[in-house]
Structure 1
């Protein structure tokens, strides 16, 4: 007598799990749309079509080709930059320095900060030579860590960050890791570690082919979300 056919239950693909990071969800909704998240910062934008800019494009194209683009809030290449010094965000009013606490709204904060930046006469880094160090694990983020390529750049970044933090009366994170972000991790899947490790190593090998990052001069920027960081003032 033949064996009875046993109907197998359908295989149901696991659902992605949102990352447990409140800071991410301040900036992104569950569908990958950028939320309004206003603030000010100092950045140096990556020069378009430079080797590092093309590296960013290559990585983003690979993420999409691998079918995991929806697991990240991807950033446009036009905004690719290196943050030099974080200043403040609108929603964290308690962290604003005392001289800004009486500001009626955030546009006033931006104007007052800009006036102080310009009147300070502080010069931007005279030398800004940065090099890719590594690609952070894709399970965590979609970012490339950067480091000064020489001692002069290290000294100039330290000088600028210290002087500007003092003028604006903001905290200075002395152990800050410079980086350029291509996206934010939004969701995770079970049993994806080996695949992401493989992709991370691939991207690291690509980054190793780029010896230096071509950067525009440092600017004071305002942003409404994570998609664009328009400059208000380029440091002399």
Structure 2
């Protein structure tokens, strides 16, 4: 389970070792924080609409938006909040390890989706799991299985999906589960990053004291056109 330090956040916010601009600038979002077309598919467990945890996360997002430096982020809609169970394919990530084998790299997203839906027709029912929050980061909430048994069930689910689709992302075994709430669109100056990182840590401590676990909906295979909405296609895997 990944543990982040204040210095990790500062490095992330200042762009240390990340190149000239934040990752996905120009493909996922623009410099004004508007989300761009980026079609793909994924398996996610949504934060249920109207649930207590959605209300808590919405309140947390408002606090994040009020922090100094918030203009450096593009915030995702509350209605889109989810935990990714297994990363599918995405238009701008066509390479080995991120694409089902035996399909050409230039296949349309729709044709890959149809292939994956067909594969899921014989997918066994996954074990149920519950999750808990671990920490707030500048980009959202990291989470994990509520118990060791939940974590094992969640990891086993990912292994089964990898076997079903025939590929594993490079970070498959050490993937950090999370609920994305924002994307960094512009790096910060070091002092601004330090202030922001400390504020995020304070919000994290406050949230973890108040919210011991997180309610999620079923794990569904979804399609998306951008990061604003994830439409279920195959329900309750």
Q: Which deviates more from structure 2 when the two are superposed, residues 175-184 or residues 56-65?
A: 56-65
Change (3 A) 1:169 1:24: farther
Equivalent positions of 1:210-221 (< 5 A) are 210-221=211-222
- Asked which structure has the greater CA Rg, the reply is 1
TM-score normalised by the chain length of structure 2: 0.82
Specify the alignment match of 2:167 in structure 1.
Answer: 170
Indicate if the aligned counterparts of 1:51 and 1:210 stay in contact, CA closer than 8 A.
no
Following superposition, the deviation at residue 155 of structure 1 comes to: 2.2
Indicate if the aligned counterparts of 2:35 and 2:226 stay in contact, CA closer than 8 A.
yes
Counterparts of 2:67 and 2:154, CA distance in 1: 37
Change (3 A) 1:150 1:103: same
Specify the alignment match of 2:5 in structure 1.
Answer: none
Indicate if the aligned counterparts of 1:218 and 1:234 stay in contact, CA closer than 8 A.
yes
Indicate if the aligned counterparts of 1:37 and 1:225 stay in contact, CA closer than 8 A.
yes
Following superposition, the deviation at residue 24 of structure 1 comes to: 4.2
Give the gaps of 5 or more residues in structure 1.
1-16
Indicate if the aligned counterparts of 1:55 and 1:206 stay in contact, CA closer than 8 A.
no
Q: Per-residue CA shift, 1:143-181, capped at 9, x if unaligned?
A: 111011112212221221111101101115100010101
Following superposition, the deviation at residue 233 of structure 1 comes to: 0.9
Indicate if the aligned counterparts of 2:76 and 2:227 stay in contact, CA closer than 8 A.
yes
Specify the alignment match of 2:125 in structure 1.
Answer: 123
TM-score normalised by the chain length of structure 1: 0.82
Indicate if the aligned counterparts of 2:22 and 2:186 stay in contact, CA closer than 8 A.
no
SS across alignment from 1:41: strand
CA RMSD of aligned residues (A): 2.3
Specify the alignment match of 2:204 in structure 1.
Answer: 204
